[in-house]
Every structure is written in C-alpha cells, then in structure tokens.
C-alpha cells in the first residue's frame, strides 16, 4: 500500500521540524512547500540525508509549486509570519490573512480531500479564514493550539508535583490568545482533579494560579527568550499528534480549534474545544459542562475570537 502523503505548507521553523518528525515517525512521504526558493528544497534534502543514520523510510521533497501537494492526505499549514517580542499574536492578523487566501486556494485546487491542520497565528481566526478560502468540509479543517497549550500546562504541573508528564492530563480551551482557558477542574494527575490536589496539600491555590498564568503566557515566554521568532519544537510535536490521530484513525480526545455549531452554546465558530480526531477528521466536539466561572472565562475568550473574525471580514470583503 502506498505511504500517506503529508504536505507541509510553510517550510520555516515549524515546517522543518514537522518534516523531521513526520519522517522519523514514518507517518508518510513529505512534501515541503514554501514561497521562499531553496528553503523547502534544502530542508527536504537535509532531512532525507538523515534517513540512513536514523533508519526511516520516507521520501521528502521540497517545492515552490502547489502542484506537488496533489493528493495529499494531510496538509499542515504554517505559512505566514511569527511574532517578535512586544507583539501580540493578533498583530499578525492582516499579514497572515493574505497568506491564508493563497494557501486555501492552493489546497482547494490540489488537495481537496486532505485533513488540514492550521497552525498560523492568530490561530482561531486564521483557521476560520483558511476554511472559508478553501471551501473544504468543516470537519476536515481544524487548528492546532489546545494540544500545545495543554502540553505546556502539563509540563509546568509535572514540575510542580514532581511526577511524570505522562501522568498529567490537562485541557486548555478557548481561543489561542491571552484569554485562553486552562480548565483546572478537567485537568488531573493520575486521574485526580487539580482542585482536589490543592485540598490534599500537594500545592496551593496561589501556586496553581501562577501555573495557569504561566500557561497563558507560554508562547510569549518563548518569544521573549528566542527574540527572533516563536516556539517551534512543541508546536510541531503537537500538530504531529493530531495528524497521527487522523492517519491512524486513533479517535484521540484532543483539544483543538474546531468548528463548533451547536455544542457549548456556540453557533458556527472556530475555537478551542475538546474533540475526537479520527479518520473522519474532527469526528466529534465534546459538549462539556462548565461551571459559572469557567463559562465566564470561556465566553470572554470566545468574544475575543469573534472580534478577530469580524476584523478578517473587514479586511477581506470576500469573507463578509
Ligand atoms: N498555533 C500555535 O500554537 C502556534 C502558531 N505559531 C505560528 O505559526 C506560524 C509559523 O511559525 P514559524 O514556522 O516559526 O515561522 P517561520 O517564519 O519560521 O516560517 C514561516 C514560513 O512561511 C513561509 N511563507 C510566508 N508566506 C507564505 C505563503 N504565502 N505561502 C507559503 N509559505 C509562505 C515563509 O517563507 C516561512 O518559511 C506563525 O504565524 C506563528 O505565529 C507558532 C507557534 C505555535
Ligand atoms: O506565541 C507565539 O507567537 C507562538 C504561539 O502561538 C505559541 O507558541 O503559543
């Protein structure tokens, strides 16, 4: 049986890391696409040359021609611009919206049956716009953010509790911005919810609040350290987890920016929610119940995303 085809639209920091991970994990053959001449070709060749030592079977190709993504099973989109220190993700809206238009059209023409994972920021508005520009079915277009934000939360919690990251589970929902919603009640260590761990004396509410805030600021923390761009190892790993769930029909329960129409009281909006990802793409949005405080935080985040979607419509009238 032929190997799956994975098209990576954008061959920058995340795109290159995605290609390396996809090859090492033998998820399929990889096509790296970018408008920068030489970058995708150079990265594809470099990673292919790591194959003999690593021992993977995967073909890698770099290209500046959308025709080469033809028939891709998965497209992961990182094309665009990352932020620099002092900027918010939302400052990227105007410039990256134009990129989503060309990418959406390229995918619609050459890989209309792909499962599309958008990473480009500001994430929730860009995945909405990418879906609009591509016209693909909603369940086949989603955004990566919740897996990353939850991974950051899990990492910080594992440091606090001195336990394995594997035994920490977490859900960070809402928009991928300053208003994101780390849900402590739905986050656990060995199945024990965080509020119970506070009662058990494993940590204090103050320390937990600080970890929640560090999670919300997780992207900015890396931007501040790197100074020239944003995080890419954890973002790439997170998107690969989603791609693998689709390609292997794993039915993983993962938080991602999905189209929500009915669940959680939402009507036709992309925002971070718990989902099931399998061969059908986003197969289910989990309609979790939130308490009053959680709902208030989630509503605030949803409003921020709605504002960005309106801003997109204001910039590009074809979206209105
Ligand atoms: N959703 C999330 O959780 C995260 C999102 N991001 C976002 O991902 C995006 C990419 O980040 P990096 O890979 O670090 O940036 P990068 O600058 O290293 O790579 C972006 C690539 O996109 C290419 N590009 C620009 N316009 C293009 C077009 N029209 N068609 C095809 N390629 C095009 C550039 O040539 C460049 O190689 C940024 O918008 C960043 O903010 C980053 C981390 C996490
Ligand atoms: O912070 C950024 O600009 C990149 C990003 O979305 C993240 O790392 O969470």
For residue 35, give the nearest of 96, 80, 94, 75 by alpha carbon. Answer: 80
**Strands laid side by side in the 192-193 sheet:** 168-173, 181-189, 192-193
In a domain, 318, yes or no: no
Which of 108, 124, 144 is the endpoint of a domain?
144
Q: Which residues line ligand 1 (CB under 6 A)?
A: 9-15, 34-36, 39, 78-83, 92, 96, 99, 102-103, 119-121, 123, 144-145, 148, 176, 229-232, 235
For residue 117, give the CATH number of its domain.
3.40.50.720
User: Is 171 exposed, middle or buried, given 0-12, 13-18 or 19+ CB atoms closer than 10 A?
Assistant: buried
Q: What is the pTM of this model?
A: 0.99
Number of domains the chain is built from: 2
Q: Would the CA dihedral through 116, 21, 97, 245 be positive or negative?
A: positive
220 C-alpha to ligand 2 centroid (Å): 6
Question: Do 299 and 161 share a structural domain?
Answer: yes
Q: So what's the pLDDT on residue 1?
A: 87
Determine the pLDDT at residue 11: 99
Q: Which ligand is nearest to the CA of 86?
A: 2
CA distance 168 to 312: 37
Orientation of helix 13-24 relative to helix 39-48, angle to 10° = 30
Residues 163 and 237 placed together within one structural domain of the fold: yes
Predicted confidence pLDDT, tens digits, the chain (320 residues):
899 999 999 999 999 999 999 999 999 999 999 999 999 999 999 999 999 999 999 999 999 999 999 999 999 999 999 999 999 999 999 999 999 999 999 999 999 999 999 999 999 999 999 999 999 999 999 999 999 999 999 999 999 999 999 999 999 999 999 999 999 999 999 999 999 999 999 999 999 999 999 999 999 999 999 999 999 999 999 999 999 999 999 999 999 999 999 999 999 999 999 999 999 999 999 999 999 999 999 999 999 999 999 999 999 999 99
| 70/114 same-domain check | yes
Q: Do 136 and 172 belong to one domain?
A: no
Last residue of a domain, one of 144, 161, 185: 144
Residue 320 in any domain: the answer is no
Q: Which residues line ligand 2 (CB under 6 A)?
A: 82-83, 89, 121, 148, 176, 218-220, 222-223, 230-231, 235
Binding region for substrate: 83, 89, 121, 152
Q: State the Cα–Cα distance between residues 15 and 62, nearest whole angstrom.
A: 11
Same domain, 175 and 194: yes
CATH number of the domain where residue 281 is located = 3.90.110.10
Q: Which atom of ligand 1 is nearest to the CA of 39?
A: 37
Q: Count of H helices and E strands in the chain?
A: 11, 12
Co-location of 124 and 180 in the same domain: no
Last residue of some domain: 116, 144, 172? Answer: 144
Is position 176 annotated as part of the catalytic site?
A: yes
Distance CA 304, CA 255 (A): 18
Residues 133 and 220 in one domain: no
Asked if residue 258 and residue 150 are part of one domain, the reply reads yes
Question: How far apart, in whole angstroms, are the C-alpha atoms of residue 295 and residue 181?
Answer: 9
Residue 241's domain comprises 146-313
CA of 109 to the centre of ligand 1 (A): 21
């Amino acid at each position: 049986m032929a190997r799956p085809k994975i098209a990576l639209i954008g061959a920058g920091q995340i795109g290159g890391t995605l290609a390396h991970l996809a090859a090492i994990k033998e998820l399929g053959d990889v096509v790296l696409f970018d408008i920068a001449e030489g970058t995708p070709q150079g990265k594809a060749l470099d990673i292919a040359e790591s194959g003999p030592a690593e021992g993977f079977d995967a073909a890698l190709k770099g290209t500046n021609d959308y025709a080469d993504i033809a028939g891709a099973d998965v497209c992961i989109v990182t094309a665009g611009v990352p932020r620099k220190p002092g900027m918010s993700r939302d400052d990227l809206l105007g410039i990256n919206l134009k990129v989503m238009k060309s990418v959406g059209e390229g995918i619609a023409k050459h890989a209309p049956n792909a499962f599309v994972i958008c990473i480009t920021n500001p994430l929730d508005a860009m995945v909405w716009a990418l879906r609009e520009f591509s016209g693909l079915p909603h369940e086949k277009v989603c955004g990566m953010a919740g897996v990353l934000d939850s991974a950051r939360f899990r990492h910080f919690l594992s440091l606090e509790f001195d336990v394995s990251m594997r035994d920490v589970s977490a859900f960070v929902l809402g928009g991928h911005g300053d208003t994101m919603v780390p849900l402590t009640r739905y986050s656990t260590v060995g199945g024990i919810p965080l509020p119970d761990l506070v009662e058990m004396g494993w940590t204090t509410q103050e320390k937990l609040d600080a970890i929640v805030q560090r999670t919300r600021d997780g992207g900015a923390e890396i931007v501040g350290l790197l100074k020239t761009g944003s995080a890419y190892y954890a973002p790439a790993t997170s998107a690969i987890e989603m791609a693998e769930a689709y390609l292997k029909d794993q039915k993983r329960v993962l938080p991602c920016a999905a189209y929500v129409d009915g669940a959680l009281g939402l009507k036709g909006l992309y925002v971070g929610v718990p989902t099931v990802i399998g061969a059908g793409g986003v197969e289910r949005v989990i309609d979790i119940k939130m308490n009053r405080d959680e709902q208030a935080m989630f509503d605030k985040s949803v409003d921020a995303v709605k504002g960005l979607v309106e801003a997109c419509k204001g910039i590009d009238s074809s979206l209105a």
